[in-house]
Amino acid sequence: MIADGTPLKVSLAATAASLVLVLVVFELIRSRRLRERYALLWLLTGIVLVVLSAWRGGLNTIAGWLGVRGYPPAVLFAVGLLFVILVLLHYSTVISRLSDQNVILAQRLALLETKLDERADRR
């Protein structure tokens, strides 16, 4: 079967949805509810999806490269999923670092308290 190309409606809907994602991320950064370093992946996700959704010829070509026959928008799902996995992985690294730092803070706090107590006892 020959690739049919991306239907216009699908392209419009996907573009609109991706644009909303980009706008929401942008607003979150603007209102300082999302730090830039964590937002970078989300922005990248949104922008890549906007480009692929709006540029039908590009999506059809990429689908052709990847051997996706019949329904090029499937590539959108694949790309979206890939980015979601990347974002999740990124979060896991962030959480790991936070919990390591949390341990160090707890240890420092406990040692400081002990030092204070022992000093108070000596007086």
Instruction: Please give the residue ranges that form the binding site for other proteins (CB under 8 A).
Output: 100-101, 103-104, 106-107, 109-111, 113-114, 118
CB of 89 to other proteins, least distance (A): 16
Looking at beta carbons only, is 27 or 113 nearer to other proteins?
Answer: 113
User: How far, rounded to the nearest angstrom, does the alpha carbon of residue 16 sit from its chain's CA centroid?
Assistant: 18
How many CB atoms within 10 Å of residue 72? Answer: 25
CB of 106 to other proteins, least distance (A): 5
Distance CA 50, CA 67 (A): 22
Q: Where are the alpha helices (DSSP H) in the chain?
A: 8-30, 36-54, 56-66, 74-122
Looking at beta carbons only, is 61 or 101 nearer to other proteins?
Answer: 101
CB of 103 to other proteins, least distance (A): 5
Distance CA 10, CA 31 (A): 32
